[in-house]
Structure 1
Amino acid sequence: MIRNFAKGIPFLLFILLFFINIYLVGGLITFGDLRGVIDWAQIHTASLGTVIFLLSILSWGALLYTFYKKGWVEPVYKSKIYRIFSSLLLCLYIAAISAFLIIAYHLGIEELGETTEWIQQYPERFSFTVFLLALVTFGLILIIGEAYMASGLALIIFFLISVANYFKKEFRNEPLFPYDFVQIGQLGEVIPMISGAFSLPIVFAISLCIVVAAFLWWKLPKITLGWITRLVLLVPVVYLVYSFFLYEDRFTAAYYEEYASIMPWNQQNNYYYNGPVIGMISNLKIDVVQKPDSYSEPAMEESMVHAEETDGEGVSENKETVKPNIVLYMNETFWDPTNLDVKFSEDPMPNIRALMDENPAGTFFSPTFGGETANVEFEALTSFSMNYINPGGNPFNNLLSNKPYPSFVSYLNDRGYYTEAMHPNGGNLYRRQNVYPNLGFDTYKFIDDMTYTEKDNKQFVSDESVARELLDTLKEEKDPSFVHAVTIANHLPYDADKYEGGSTISVEGEGLSQDSKTRIETYAEGIKRSDQTLQWLYEEILKLDEPTILVFFGDHLPSIGANLKAFKETGYGDEEDQQTNPKFYETPLLLLSNYDSGIEKDLGTMSPIYLAPFISEEVGLETHRLYDFMLEMKEEIPAFRNRIYMPAENEVVESTEDLPQSTQDILQDYHHFQYDVLTGKQHVVDQLYTEE
């Protein structure tokens, strides 16, 4: 009997849908619009749900009893039409549930009312999202061949996407992009970094539900489709999925024009107003690098003419070549926490503050917030900007891991430098084990290759270990050395137990929650230890016989609490500020050397793309055309990222259209060069990397 009931589950789904539609039609007649229908359902959720459920159960029971008495259960269950129809019904339910979950997690799972209001406001976008997810679910059913298993798998996948989007938005105020899925193979290294954000009871409950569902699937009748049916249906479904997901220049573009409002210039709004599913689909791009509309061989030749015209203009004459050791010391999440409006029991970075007063120093303008360290490395090592990478694109994973590219590393190799990269974590993260050799490093060390791997916290290798490792390289190598050293100790989570004994720094602030107070204190403790390590490292560098210059900077600001919690509580800024205010991307920049470098003390604000040309010029190395061009570009616009452009002598603007025409022109040439080198036809690569 139980098996007969199980075989009739699709009938129950159909009857439920039938009564829901009766309410929708009746509500539309009564209230006149969908908003009124949903409002009434919100107010009378319990009674309406109970009535629909009871009517559905009674109708379902009567229908099954009739089928059982007439002997129709088995013939209907075995029929091809019934199985296809059942599969489509499952797709619709799974898609509707998943669409609601994905939107709810994006807007804030704690306030489901916001999700309902969103659906009321944008019913056509919700329906379009359901259609897209149903299409994917049906395709999965046709591939697997069993409707319940495929539907369950689809629900799990959609749920994981909603959770991933939720956590990325919470920690980085940035939605999940299609290119983020490239990092699925690196989850083993990513999850420990954010493990504190997971609730074990919820994880256990979800796991238990999956186990129970799997057991029921194993015991109860299934809905299978024959391979001929699957093959016949799969071809058009795959075509539709392809057309709707890569919709540009296809007939499906008309549906996005009618049922969505794509806003690629503002991804926060793009995801909010269209929902995460449509938002993600709108960012499915074949090219990682944004292709300039004007890109062509004649356009590239014209840009090269412009670059040649700017060679040497506004750039000081080369100094006497010193060929010092060069160290890029990129400190994970290093930032001055005293920028927050709270009172600290002590200054967490007194040494660096003093060093910045005595040595060349300025502000490093990161392309990212709260994470994506590899994107900062990309800018610093290639001199190309994340501003022209499609949203969510990660050049390390998507480009540099695939083949060699010219870089600051290869530039120094050509000038007799020994080059080494080190990162105290696994080499699989951001595929650094492939990227570093492709950039030209002679040697690259990860945690298993390092001599010093001591930790000063419960999870990550200490800054001191990295400092000792790079010092050994400088002492052992006879040739001048370039060391790219990335630390990790200050990486989140900032739980109270990160450091044994807790933090030695306490903070107080009006309106500060205990959670934020704990996280700020933990973060400040890490900054204190980084500060002490840099002071020790500088003293050791002063003892070296070879001239050495160290460039110290933080890769990005920290994510202190979910959804900018600590930043909001301390009055530092909210989500909109995080998108448009430079202070969310500014970290300390400090140059230390054991010889008179002659570098001016005020470095100003500088994007990472300028580090290589700036250092090359300052130490007197002969520069190629790209670096000459960028030194001139730095005079026009020393720092920029999406929605934040900081021209040298004007106010910060959100759009390139608000920049002076000369700045727009030089940025267009730069965009041409970046696209041509990274993914274009390389019309001018040889000319760009040629010295005068």
Structure 2
Amino acid sequence: MSDDQSVPTPHADQHVEELYIRTLEPEEARDRKCTRRPWPWWAYAIAFILVDILALAILQQGVTQTSTRIQLSSSLDSLWTMVEKMGQGNFVFLLNIVIIAIIYVILLMATNRFWIASGILLTVATGIAAAEHLKISARYEVILPSDLNFLGSNTGDIMSFLPDGAPLVIGAAAAVIVVSVAVCAVCSHFDGRHGAMVWHAPRPLGAAIRVIGVLVPALLLGGYTMSVGTVDSWGYQVSRGMGDIPSMWDSVYDAQRNGPLVSFLRQLDPKIMEQPEGYGKEKMDEVAARYAKAAASINEDRDHTLTDSTVIYVLSESFSDPTRVPGVELNKDPMPFIRQLKGETTSGLMLSSGYGGGTANLEYMGLTGLSMVNFDESLTSPYQQVLPTACWTPSVNQLWGSPEHSIGLHPYEPSMYSRETNYEKLGFSHFYALEGKDIISHQDKIDDSPYVSDEATYESTLEEVRKSEDSQFLQVITMQNHMPYNDWYADNDFEVTDSSDSTAAMTDTEKESLRTYAKGMELTDEATKEFLEQLDGIDKPVTVVFYGDHLPGIYTTAGADSSNSLALHLTDYFIWSNKASEKNGVSNTTDDSNVYSSPNFFIAQAADQMHAKVSPYLAFLTELHTRIAAMEPPVVNTIQGWDRIPEGQPIYLDADGQPMSEADMDAETRQMLEDYKLIQYDIVAGDNYLKETDFMTLPD
């Protein structure tokens, strides 16, 4: 069979080609016939797979490399790690390949040219990889869906965010694009078909094939994107079934682990909340008016202004009394000062939604007064799934006015939970951490501990309080007692034994971790005592809200018993005011010790202790707390993952810490829970009707 007959062509085109070839010299005609021969379909299939994999490798390069030097090996290593996981039953590599392939098919059908589509795909992948690298270098954060809004409205400001080394990255990306386009152009030149996908079909049929070829994969990709963020949807099942394991505390690690495309699409359309029945402007005006009346009633008996005081939220990492855990006994008290203090001021036990993790969720609830109970079970991290795209982000610190009065401190990486970005959106002027534009001043550690001590964090906090004569809001997140616990402290005289009523013996590993943890509690107790004494010497009113975010995930023995679930979700908290506050009529003497709570109620409790007037929103939280002491999503006694809120009924506790059933609540309490959903939906997913009211405004 001759070369002309090996690949069929339309008769008219074949006739024209033969006439042209006959005008050439024999040698030229032979070369012409060789160089213009269409590629066989199996060659296109191989090229499709290679381009698909190359696009993924380029995308992985953008989130993998950590220096300004372009290192192909880092991308290949990351890609190979994903391939190796398939031997362990994790097929996230194939998931990424399939998603890119779907996009590739859309381009192929839209352009009807294989080589043009290939060039576009590689160009776009390279551009995204370069943008990912630049953002990671500047903020250690990958491209998020919220960045698309920034791109549309602030394109002219992008250059001001570029980090050092940007010209090299942009130049290298441009070189990759030029090479990719050049290779595709050469392949097209030597391909007699020029990469045409619909070759033989008559024009109407060919157009129909291309339209279908665009619509079907586009609908498939759109359906996956719209459903992957919703629990138990087909997109969710496909993604998790193929090995997507969200790691949303660190967006860069998440993209490296699961692929930047999978990570991005998962966050594109998360299901936040179901719209409550009756939601609308009229309903929200009714809610606002109801709690404006409640605020007026509460404020009749109060004569202070909340923002006349400095308020410090101290989220103490993993702080919780270990002697309260079933089966655990220590040879001495790890928190004598805080235990005594809790009997003298507003204090008690906080119901935590996390165990061994989930810090940012407790942090979010404390700063906003919103509750994880009201979110859809698909939503696991408001810091990643709510705040980045929120149009309105009211938070406690904003009551203190301009951002200069709001300060955040966290002696760790600012990228965790995208805190640096989120704190800026919440209205904080500074977020002091170990990296970034604001570096925390004190970074001392204790013995072999890898984390900054609480004593050092308190020193940094005191400096910020003393800097200003104005009232402030400070959010402090400590790190000293973060897992793991590897015998860090030199002088540790704690001993851990099984309590007399324990039903199972702890392992030696568990006891060793508990020894280190208990010593950390003692060091926190001592540092907190010194911190409060220093605040007592400052001549301006200061109130501290101190709480542990969750228990550490080291209680393996206690966790094996499901009856201990509630006990493993109770941490310690207290609200304390300094001597300058007492001069203004605020006293720490209270009957509110041993009160159960959850972090969404803390600002209302602080206002109560300070005899401070409240906004309609704080009035709502105040009244709800008198009816429901604490509330959280279903609790589990294992370290919570990042797939979903645990299944089951929300946990509601009364003032005695006893579980409450929603079915047994009176009509007014159930109405308040419905109002809570309306308020939260309006803020995070609705039309922000409350923004146009005085619902969040403190009285003059």
Q: TM-score range by the shorter chain?
A: 0.5 to 0.7
Amino acid at match of 1:325: T
Contact 1:404 1:439 in 2 (8 A): no
Contact 1:334 1:555 in 2 (8 A): yes
Structure 2 equivalent of residue 80 of structure 1:
41
Cα drift, residue 413 of structure 1 = 2.6
Match of 1:343 among 329, 343, 349: 329
Contact 1:314 1:632 in 2 (8 A): no
Structure 2 equivalent of residue 407 of structure 1:
395
Structure 2 equivalent of residue 548 of structure 1:
542
After superposition, the C-alpha distances for 1:324-347 in whole angstroms (9 at most, x for unaligned) are 332211101111112241332332
After superposition, the C-alpha distances for 1:299-356 in whole angstroms (9 at most, x for unaligned) are 3234334434544567882144583332211101111112241332332222222222
Cα drift, residue 87 of structure 1 = 7.9
Q: Secondary structure at the match of 2:486?
A: coil
Q: Secondary structure at the match of 1:550?
A: strand
Structure 1 equivalent of residue 450 of structure 2:
459
Cα drift, residue 485 of structure 1 = 1.3
Partner Cα separation in structure 2 for residue 655 and residue 284 of structure 1: 33
Contact 1:271 1:278 in 2 (8 A): no
Tell me whether 1:437 sits opposite 2:424 in the alignment: yes
Q: Secondary structure at the match of 1:493?
A: coil
Q: Secondary structure at the match of 1:387?
A: helix
Contact 1:557 1:585 in 2 (8 A): yes
Q: Secondary structure at the match of 1:465?
A: helix
Structure 2 equivalent of residue 512 of structure 1:
506
Quick one: structure 1 residues 433 and 273, their matched pair in 2 at CA, closer, same or farther if it must change by over 3 Å? closer
Contact 2:303 2:613 in 1 (8 A): no
After superposition, the C-alpha distances for 1:575-611 in whole angstroms (9 at most, x for unaligned) are x568xx4323211011233332454342511111111
Identify unmatched segments of 5+ residues in structure 2.
Answer: 1-37, 53-80, 109-113, 116-140, 148-190, 199-208, 247-261, 499-503, 635-649
Amino acid at match of 2:618: Y
Structure 2 equivalent of residue 593 of structure 1:
577
Q: CA RMSD in A?
A: 5.2
Alignment map for 1:516-665 (pairs within 5 Å): 516-560=510-554, 567-568=555-556, 570-574=557-561, 581-594=565-578, 595=582, 596-602=587-593, 604-643=595-634, 644-648=650-654, 656=662, 659-665=665-671
Amino acid at match of 2:321: D
Structure 1 equivalent of residue 75 of structure 2:
none
Contact 1:135 1:237 in 2 (8 A): no
Match of 1:676 among 682, 685, 688: 682
Identify unmatched segments of 5+ residues in structure 1.
Answer: 1-76, 92-100, 116-125, 147-178, 186-223, 561-566
Quick one: structure 1 residues 262 and 540, their matched pair in 2 at CA, closer, same or farther if it must change by over 3 Å? same
Partner Cα separation in structure 2 for residue 616 and residue 541 of structure 1: 19
Quick one: structure 1 residues 308 and 601, their matched pair in 2 at CA, closer, same or farther if it must change by over 3 Å? closer
Amino acid at match of 2:352: S
Amino acid at match of 1:376: L
Quick one: structure 1 residues 379 and 552, their matched pair in 2 at CA, closer, same or farther if it must change by over 3 Å? same
Partner Cα separation in structure 2 for residue 412 and residue 83 of structure 1: 63
Tell me whether 1:485 sits opposite 2:476 in the alignment: yes
Return the structure number with greater helix share: 1
Tell me whether 1:296 sits opposite 2:284 in the alignment: no
After superposition, the C-alpha distances for 1:511-568 in whole angstroms (9 at most, x for unaligned) are 32232222222222221211111122122223333332222110111122xxxxxx34
Amino acid at match of 1:590: F
Q: Secondary structure at the match of 1:687?
A: coil
Tell me whether 1:427 sits opposite 2:414 in the alignment: yes
Partner Cα separation in structure 1 for residue 239 and residue 572 of structure 2: 33
Quick one: structure 1 residues 592 and 667, their matched pair in 2 at CA, closer, same or farther if it must change by over 3 Å? same
Match of 2:347 among 361, 385, 397: 361
Partner Cα separation in structure 2 for residue 276 and residue 302 of structure 1: 47
Cα drift, residue 82 of structure 1 = 7.7
Tell me whether 1:689 sits opposite 2:685 in the alignment: no
Partner Cα separation in structure 2 for residue 79 and residue 655 of structure 1: 68
Cα drift, residue 276 of structure 1 = 7.0
Partner Cα separation in structure 2 for residue 277 and residue 469 of structure 1: 39
Partner Cα separation in structure 1 for residue 659 and residue 100 of structure 2: 44
After superposition, the C-alpha distances for 1:120-148 in whole angstroms (9 at most, x for unaligned) are xxxxxx9xx999888537437758999xx
Quick one: structure 1 residues 691 and 454, their matched pair in 2 at CA, closer, same or farther if it must change by over 3 Å? closer
Amino acid at match of 1:452: H
After superposition, the C-alpha distances for 1:413-453 in whole angstroms (9 at most, x for unaligned) are 37x99332211123222232232233233443223522211
Contact 1:420 1:443 in 2 (8 A): yes
Quick one: structure 1 residues 130 and 551, their matched pair in 2 at CA, closer, same or farther if it must change by over 3 Å? closer
Structure 2 equivalent of residue 38 of structure 1:
none
Quick one: structure 1 residues 660 and 363, their matched pair in 2 at CA, closer, same or farther if it must change by over 3 Å? same
Amino acid at match of 1:409: N
Cα drift, residue 374 of structure 1 = 2.0
Partner Cα separation in structure 2 for residue 356 and residue 388 of structure 1: 30
Match of 1:235 among 214, 234, 256: 214
Amino acid at match of 2:449: K
Contact 1:319 1:620 in 2 (8 A): yes
Q: Secondary structure at the match of 2:516?
A: helix
Partner Cα separation in structure 2 for residue 348 and residue 408 of structure 1: 32
Structure 2 equivalent of residue 473 of structure 1:
464
Quick one: structure 1 residues 582 and 302, their matched pair in 2 at CA, closer, same or farther if it must change by over 3 Å? farther
Partner Cα separation in structure 2 for residue 417 and residue 240 of structure 1: 47
Q: Secondary structure at the match of 2:473?
A: strand
Contact 2:349 2:596 in 1 (8 A): yes
Contact 1:332 1:556 in 2 (8 A): yes
TM-score by length of 2: 0.60
Cα drift, residue 86 of structure 1 = 11
Contact 2:352 2:550 in 1 (8 A): yes
Partner Cα separation in structure 2 for residue 375 and residue 365 of structure 1: 13
Q: Secondary structure at the match of 1:605?
A: coil
Seq. identity, %: 21
Cα drift, residue 482 of structure 1 = 2.5
Quick one: structure 1 residues 141 and 471, their matched pair in 2 at CA, closer, same or farther if it must change by over 3 Å? same
Contact 2:99 2:221 in 1 (8 A): no
Partner Cα separation in structure 1 for residue 418 and residue 232 of structure 2: 35
Q: Secondary structure at the match of 1:617?
A: helix
Contact 1:318 1:618 in 2 (8 A): no
